[in-house]
């Protein structure tokens, strides 16, 4: 399945007891970096844009039977 707010996972595997994912590369900065390098507080419009995107991604994942349990700003 595919959603515009969820990074694509191309492959997942295990090698020598270590699990890994090969994922889509997303250029730019993540939210954690945005929060530490840009002026705060975030503009309301940006908070709404990010919050809406995260909520849409989680809603889609939950509809697919996925429970994420580790959402972070990266």
Active site residues: 70
Of 8, 2, 54, nearest in space to 31 by CA: 54
Q: How many other CB atoms are found less than 10 A from the CB of residue 43? A: 10
Contacts of 43-51 with C-beta under 8 Å, sequence gap 24+, read: none
């Amino acid at each position: 399945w595919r959603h515009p707010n969820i990074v694509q996972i191309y492959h997942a595997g295990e090698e020598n007891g270590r699990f890994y994912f090969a994922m889509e590369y997303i250029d730019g900065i993540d939210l954690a970096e945005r929060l530490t390098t840009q002026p705060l507080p975030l503009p309301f419009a940006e908070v709404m844009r990010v919050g809406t995107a995260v909520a849409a991604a989680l809603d889609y994942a939950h509809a697919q039977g996925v429970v994420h349990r580790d959402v972070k700003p990266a």
